[in-house]
């Protein structure tokens, strides 16, 4: 079964600090990998999309990396802000003979404290 595993499950950091969230996947054949941010009570919002050939992509203070060989991705948040408190979801796209599908991780819950 195609799996997307995220770690840690939850994280608390001080405002201004950096943090890194991890995503390991077994999805094959791989198509793309996305990171989404989900604020409490809202729908997920796209942060980055990376294809097989890309190994890094930035969106402001968010930088995603991808190692397609080891099937690992990370999301690095620089100089965290209180508004970064949210759930971060890793999503891996699968492209096979039976069609295209998205596999969602369970998310990492980040709390940024003053």
Partner 1 sequence: DAGITQSPRHKVTETGTPVTLRCHQTENHRYMYWYRQDPGHGLRLIHYSYGVKDTDKGEVSDGYSVSRSKTEDFLLTLESATSSQTSVYFCAISELATGGEKLFFGSGTQLSVL
Q: Is 104 in the site for partner 1 (CB under 8 A)?
A: yes
Q: Let me know: does 27 contact 96? Beta carbons within 8 Å.
A: no
User: Which two three-digit tokens encode residue 105?
Assistant: 């991780």
Residue 16 or 39 having the CB closest to partner 1: 39
User: Which one of residues 54, 72, 78, 109 is an interface residue with partner 1 (CB under 8 A)?
Assistant: 54
How far apart, in whole angstroms, are the C-alpha atoms of residue 73 and residue 90? 9
Q: Is 45 in the site for partner 1 (CB under 8 A)?
A: yes
User: Which one of residues 34, 62, 88, 108 is an interface residue with partner 1 (CB under 8 A)?
Assistant: 34
DSSP lists the bridge partners of residue 74 as: 22, 65
User: Which one of residues 50, 64, 77, 110 is an interface residue with partner 1 (CB under 8 A)?
Assistant: 50
How far apart, in whole angstroms, are the C-alpha atoms of residue 77 and residue 58? 10
Per DSSP, 49 falls in state: E
Q: Residues in the site for partner 1, rule: CB under 8 A?
A: 4, 31-32, 34, 41-46, 49-51, 54, 89, 93, 101-107
């Amino acid at each position: 079964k195609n799996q997307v595993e995220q770690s840690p499950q939850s994280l608390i950091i001080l405002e201004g600090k950096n943090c890194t969230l991890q995503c390991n996947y077994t999805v094959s054949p791989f198509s793309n990998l996305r990171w989404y941010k989900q604020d409490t009570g809202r729908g997920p919002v796209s942060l980055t999309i990376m294809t097989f050939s890309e190994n890094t992509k930035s969106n402001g203070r968010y930088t995603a990396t991808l190692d397609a060989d080891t099937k690992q991705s990370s999301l690095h948040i620089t100089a965290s802000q209180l508004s970064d408190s949210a759930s971060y979801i890793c999503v891996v796209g699968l492209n096979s003979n039976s069609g295209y599908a998205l596999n969602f991780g369970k998310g990492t819950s980040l709390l940024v404290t003053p």
